[in-house]
Amino acid sequence: MTSERRRVVAVDAPIGIFDSGFGGLTVMRSVLDQLPHEATAYFGDTARAPYGPRPIAQTREYAIECLDRLVDHGVKALVIACNTASAAVLHDARERYDVPVVEVIRPAVRRAVLATRNDKVGVISTSGTHQSGAYLDAFTAAPHLDVRSQPCPRFVEFVESGVTSGPKLLDVAREYLEPLRRAGVDTVVLGCTHYPLLTGVISYVMGEGVTLVSSAEETAKDVYRVLADRDLLRPDDGPPPEHGFTTTGDAEEFRLLARRFLGPAVGDVFGNVGG
């Protein structure tokens, strides 16, 4: 795919964050925590979510449409905060845009390789990400590790319903995580950006000795590194940053869910934006 969007990158420009839906808001939360002086522009393709069951060519088409919108908006960096889209479009995006592109899979894998003590790592994700094999492919650079991938599809339902505790969730978590407990993993990658909201129940089921690696947190660290390396960090003494939200779906639904991830500070949401 040839490059189509070339421009001068402005230090004061926002960081563009793209997800097929809402889970990328955990990445945005981590970016805001680690880079509080940076402005952000979030684009959620909620009208066409989830991407997981879609053919990879369609996922690539939809993701490029959304990333093009962010680049046209004038962002200084792109964050692909969707595991499925990261696997489908990362190579194309890095060729297509002059701005740096960060994704969610490799940062988490690098941290897990460093974190494990017994060389046994578990990856929990949606069914689509599990079936893509994207995390297992990323771990091939560390062939000494025993990596187990476990789909946990209902976790997203719980998070988007506002349920992050309770007996029903606990029962589902025990069922999903039992294969990883039996395998003796000491590190678990949260391979879906919804899952950081479930660290309490996941840690309870897996036990205190198991390290949880958040793809959202590790991705935010990568964003910091990339901006610092390219002298694109926004000055600390500038005006307060602004944060924008755009969705291809219903604006009010997006606002309500966004507040579960980011709190009441979520302001105007531009909704029903066509793909």
Backbone conformation region of residue 272, classed left if phi is above 0, alpha if psi is from -120 to 50, else beta: left
Q: Which of 13, 67, 75, 82 is catalytic?
A: 82
Contact status, residue 17 vs residue 41, Cβ threshold 8 Å: yes
82 is catalytic: yes
In this structure, the strands spanning 101-103 and 120-125 are: unpaired
Note if 192 is an active site residue.
Answer: yes
What's at 190, amino acid-wise? L
Task: State the catalytic residue, choosing from 13, 192, 220, 266.
Answer: 192
Cα separation, 97 vs 67, whole angstroms: 9
* Whether 169 contacts 163, CB under 8 Å: yes
Sheet containing strand 77-80, strands side by side: 101-103, 77-80, 15-19, 40-44, 243-247, 269-270
> What amino acid positions are annotated as catalytic residues?
82, 192
